[in-house]
């Protein structure tokens, strides 16, 4: 008589909480300069890609025009620049926020050409 024996592993760990599209408030004990007293919109969060977030309450004091002087994007020059993530200060990423029918929405990682289309909304 032959028996086929199969073994399998049951994952008993709970699934990690879905954090994308959530606001994260920095714990008061967090004294790190980047996230100290921060409100972060965690726009994207997956195990494969990691996290992408925007710090909403720490404006940089700069505008897009301070960083990009190309006249093709003149309409974007007055938009304020906020710190965000990935936590790399050598990248500029556009995001758009809107309210329709009492609901808020947002889009992240917008290309510069696409960012101009959100200005009228």
Q: What is the pLDDT of residues 37-53, one digit of tens each?
A: 888 888 888 888 788 88
Higher-scoring residue by pLDDT: 25, 12 = 25
Question: In the chain, how many domains are there?
Answer: 1
What does the DSSP 8-state code read for residue 54?
E
Q: What is the pLDDT of residues 60-114, one digit of tens each?
A: 888 989 988 888 888 888 888 877 655 556 677 778 877 888 888 888 777 777 7
Residue 73, both tokens? 């994007």
Q: Does residue 17 lie in a domain region?
A: no
Tell me how far apart the alpha carbons of residues 83 and 102 are, in angstroms, rounded to a whole number. 27
Place of tokens 């599209």: 21
118: enclosing H helix or E strand: helix 112-118
Q: Does residue 2 lie in a domain region?
A: no
Bond from prior residue into 64 cis (ω within 30 degrees of 0): no
- pTM of the shown model: 0.64
Q: Does residue 90 lie in a domain region?
A: yes
Whole domain around residue 50: which residue ranges? 22-118
What does the DSSP 8-state code read for residue 42?
E
Query: What pLDDT is stored for residue 10 in this prediction?
Result: 64
């Amino acid at each position: 008589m032959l028996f086929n024996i199969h073994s399998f592993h049951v994952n008993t760990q709970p699934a990690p909480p879905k954090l994308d599209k959530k606001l994260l408030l920095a714990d008061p004990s967090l004294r790190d300069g980047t996230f100290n007293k921060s409100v972060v919109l965690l726009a994207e969060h997956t195990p494969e890609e990691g996290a992408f977030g925007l710090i909403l309450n720490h404006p940089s004091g700069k505008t897009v025009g301070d960083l990009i002087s190309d006249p093709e994007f003149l309409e974007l020059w007055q938009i304020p620049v906020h710190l965000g993530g990935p936590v790399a200060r050598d990248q500029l990423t556009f995001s758009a926020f809107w309210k329709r029918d009492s609901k808020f929405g947002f889009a992240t990682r917008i290309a510069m050409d696409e960012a101009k289309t959100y200005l009228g909304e």
